[in-house]
């Protein structure tokens, strides 16, 4: 038997002190810093003119694999908005691409596969991710972290169900009908597919943490289309497997999913330290469902980014007040920044949250 020993390196920002006591890490560990930490899902991206300029002429996934460019885009929202964290600029399909599966991001649509993965034999052909393929990710993270100083970097990955739904459907899909049919038709192939997704996402998370990410977030954007029972039996164990790839590395873990209000009680057992809540469920109610035991993240309604400032400010205050019920609170949106958002509104939210 071999004993696996792993730990964060001495030069990791959580170990050398740069991010050990920053507001985001403190809140993720259940504490309440003087001002609530705030960041935005999809803060790096099309809402920023500097992003559109940096990306001009480069395909999305090529930009993710160019370490200097990915690091630059990661830093842009921190410089502009003074958010409490950077989120690594990449995409949930990057580890799939690096494992040899043909995929592109079609603007206005999302990830599209060259060939969908629909049968047991398609699934058998999926190869493990070669750890060396993640080198451009490690390099981009290292560049960003060196620039960030005491601002933490959040690493992320797609949860196995969300990733599998892109593989099976071949592209974005509202209802994931083929995916859910496969889940019930061929449970063995399904389990193999979800394990493969968990392993590529897990390796992607681990590479980001080893290279300097101080917090991670697992995104399960589509699991809300499943029944609670299917989620619990056929999906949740694989989400746990993705988090388990971080064994030995003591970084706070955030889980974010859409439409999971009826199964929040299942999330802590996946290995999550913080639960991200979408805009539909008030944070005080989420806290009650969780028995008051776990820090929450969220959940400003992204729709209100278009509302007049007094309406938005009242909503932000309400989110913060409801968040007081939880042991700790990280302010965020209830889903990603819509591309048409005026970035000045995001900067103003950060000032407002920090000034309270």
From the candidates 166, 199, 253, 263, which is the catalytic residue?
A: 166
- 60-79 residues in contact with ligand CP3 (CB under 6 A) are 60
- Which listed range, 41-49, 136-144, 240-248, 275-283, lies at the site for ligand CP3 (CB under 6 A)? 41-49
Q: Which of 13, 23, 45, 160 binds ligand CP3 (CB under 6 A)?
A: 45
Q: Is 104 among the residues that bind ligand CP3 (CB under 6 A)?
A: no
* 46 lies in the binding site for ligand CP3 (CB under 6 A): yes
263 and 228 Cβ atoms separated by less than 8 Å: yes
Q: How far apart are CA 181 and CA 179, in angstroms?
A: 5
List binders of ligand CP3 among 219-258 (CB under 6 A). Answer: 219, 221
Alpha helices, H only, 257-308: 283-289
Q: In 10 A of CB 143, how many CB atoms?
A: 20
166 catalytically annotated: yes
Nearest CB to ligand CP3, comparing residues 89 and 204: 89
23-31, 82-90, 206-214, 242-250 -> range binding ligand CP3 (CB under 6 A) = 82-90
Contact 69, 63 (CB under 8 A): yes
Name, in order, each residue with C-beta under 8 angstroms of 11's C-beta and a sequence gap of 6 or more: none
Please calculate the CA angle 123-129-131 and round it to the nearest 5 degrees: 170
**Nearest-CA neighbor of 82 among 47, 37, 51?**
37
51 annotated active-site: no
Query: Cis (ω within 30 of 0) for the bond into 293?
Result: no
Q: Is 42 a catalytic residue?
A: yes
Work out whether 42 is an interface residue with ligand CP3 (CB under 6 A): yes
Query: Contact with ligand CP3 (CB under 6 A): which of 23, 67, 111, 298?
Result: 111
Each residue 202-221 as x (binds ligand CP3 by CB under 6 A) or -, in order, gives -----------------x-x
Please identify, among the stretches 30-38, 86-94, 113-121, 203-211, the one whose residues bind ligand CP3 according to the rule CB under 6 A. Answer: 86-94
Given candidates 22, 37, 43, 75, which one binds ligand CP3 under the rule CB under 6 A?
43
Stretch that binds ligand CP3, among 100-108, 144-152, 176-184, 203-211 (CB under 6 A): 100-108
Number of residues interacting with ligand CP3: please give it, by CB under 6 A: 26
Annotated catalytic residue, options 18, 26, 51, 55: 55
Least Å from the CB of residue 154 to ligand CP3: 8
Of 311, 299, 305, 294, nearest to 339 by C-alpha is 305
Q: What share of the chain is helix, strand, coil (3-state, %, to 5)?
A: 50, 10, 40
Between 92 and 168, name the residue whose CB sits nearer to ligand CP3: 92
Among 26, 84, 91, 206, the one annotated catalytic: 91
**Radius of gyration for the alpha carbons in the chain, expressed in angstroms and rounded:** 19
Binding to ligand CP3 (CB under 6 A) within 311-350 occurs at: 336
Interaction between residue 41 and ligand CP3 (CB under 6 A): yes
Q: Cite the DSSP H helix spans in the chain.
A: 23-28, 49-55, 60-64, 67-81, 94-98, 120-124, 135-148, 160-169, 177-185, 187-210, 228-234, 236-244, 283-289, 309-323, 343-355
Considering the rule CB under 6 A, would residue 152 count as an interface residue with ligand CP3?
A: no
Q: In what order do the strands lie in the sheet with 215-220?
A: 86-87, 153-158, 215-220, 253-257, 274-276, 296-300, 329-333
Q: Catalytic residue at 109?
A: no
Instruction: Using the minimum distance from each CB to ligand CP3, give the nearer residue, 3 or 176.
Output: 176
- 52 belongs to the catalytic site: no
- For ligand CP3, which residue of 100, 107, 128, 248 counts as binding (CB under 6 A)? 107
Select from 240, 172, 168, 257 the least CA-distant residue to 201. Answer: 240
H/E stretch holding 154 reads strand 153-158
User: CA-CA distance, 141 to 212, in Å (whole number)?
Assistant: 7
Contacts with ligand CP3 by CB under 6 A lie at 41-46, 55, 60, 87, 89-92, 105, 107-111, 156, 158, 162, 172, 219, 221, 336
Give catalytic residues, as residue numbers: 42, 46, 55, 91, 166
């Amino acid at each position: 038997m071999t004993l696996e020993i792993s730990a964060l390196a001495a030069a990791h920002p959580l170990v050398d002190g740069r991010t050990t006591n920053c507001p985001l890490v403190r809140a993720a560990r259940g504490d309440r810093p003087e001002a609530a930490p705030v960041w935005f899902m999809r803060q790096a991206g099309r809402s920023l003119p500097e992003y559109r300029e940096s990306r001009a002429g480069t395909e999305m996934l090529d930009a993710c694999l160019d370490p200097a460019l990915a690091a630059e885009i990661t830093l842009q929202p921190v410089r502009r908005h003074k958010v409490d964290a950077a989120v690594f600029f990449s995409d949930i399909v990057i580890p799939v691409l690096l494992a040899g599966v043909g995929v592109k991001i079609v603007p206005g649509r999302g990830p599209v596969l060259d060939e969908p993965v629909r049968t047991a034999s398609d699934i058998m052909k999926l190869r493990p991710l070669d750890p060396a393929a993640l080198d451009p990710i490690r390099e981009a993270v290292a560049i960003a972290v060196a620039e960030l100083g005491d601002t933490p970097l959040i690493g992320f990955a797609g949860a196995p169900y969300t990733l599998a739904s892109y593989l099976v459907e071949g592209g974005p899909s509202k209802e994931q009908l083929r995916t859910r049919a496969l889940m019930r038709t061929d449970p063995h192939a399904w389990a193999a597919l979800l394990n493969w997704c968990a392993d590529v996402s897990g390796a992607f998370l681990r590479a980001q943490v080893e290279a300097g990410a101080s917090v991670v977030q697992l995104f399960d954007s589509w699991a809300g289309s499943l029944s609670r029972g299917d989620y619990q039996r056929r999906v949740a164990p694989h989400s746990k497997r993705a988090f388990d790839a971080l064994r030995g590395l003591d970084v706070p873990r955030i889980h974010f999913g859409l439409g999971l209000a009826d199964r929040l009680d299942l999330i802590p057992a996946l290995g999550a330290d913080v639960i991200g809540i979408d805009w539909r469920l008030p944070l005080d109610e989420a806290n009650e469902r969780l028995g008051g035991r776990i820090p929450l993240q969220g959940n400003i309604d992204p729709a209100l980014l278009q509302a007049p400032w007094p309406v938005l400010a009242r909503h932000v205050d309400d989110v913060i007040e409801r968040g007081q019920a939880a042991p700790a609170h990280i302010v965020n949106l209830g889903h990603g920044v819509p591309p048409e958002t005026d970035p000045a509104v995001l900067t103003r939210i950060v000032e407002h949250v920090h000034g309270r």
